């Protein structure tokens, strides 16, 4: 724990998820045992954003799943910093494209979690 789930439209070409996840894990080390952190990327091929299709619009959304017990300040810090890391990693991709869209992040505190 935590889990990072990055969903984004398929038109974000040249995005390096390994670099993003590496930076994210490095940041999270101050809050958790990083050896149990699991990250994954889901590329969404069939997307529609606002009034635009994949030719001109994109989305990137990060969901962070964490165990309960962290303060609101820590949860806010995790969300803000991971959002900034994602934005920083996507900026070079967006500079070379004409895509418009949103980069969003949310932190969810799990109510129950089962592990074998």
Give per-residue pLDDT as tens, 9-58.
999 988 999 999 999 999 999 999 899 899 999 999 888 787 756 678 89
Total structural domains in the chain?
1
Distance CA 106, CA 62 (A): 6
33: domain CATH number is 3.30.429.10
* Per-residue confidence (pLDDT) for residue 59, from 0 to 100: 93
Specify if 82 maps to a domain: yes
Q: Which domain, by its residues, includes 88?
A: 3-109
Question: pLDDT tens for residues 91-115?
Answer: 999 998 888 889 999 999 998 877 7
Distance CA 76, CA 10 (A): 28
pTM assigned to the model:
0.91
Domain membership of residue 116 (yes or no) is no
How high is the pLDDT of residue 53?
A: 65
The residues with which 101 forms a beta bridge, in sequence order, are 58
The answer to whether position 79 is within a domain reads yes
């Amino acid at each position: 724990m935590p889990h990072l789930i990055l969903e984004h439209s398929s038109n974000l070409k040249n995005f390096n998820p390994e670099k993003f996840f590496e930076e994210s894990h490095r940041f999270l080390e101050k809050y958790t045992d990083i050896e149990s952190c699991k990250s994954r990327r889901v590329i969404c091929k069939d997307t529609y954003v606002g009034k635009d299709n994949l030719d001109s619009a994109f989305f990137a959304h990060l969901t962070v799943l964490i165990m309960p017990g962290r303060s609101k300040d820590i949860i806010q810090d995790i969300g803000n910093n991971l959002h900034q890391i994602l934005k920083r990693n996507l900026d070079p991709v967006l500079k070379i494209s004409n895509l418009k869209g949103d980069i969003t992040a949310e932190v969810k505190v799990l109510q129950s979690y089962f592990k074998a």
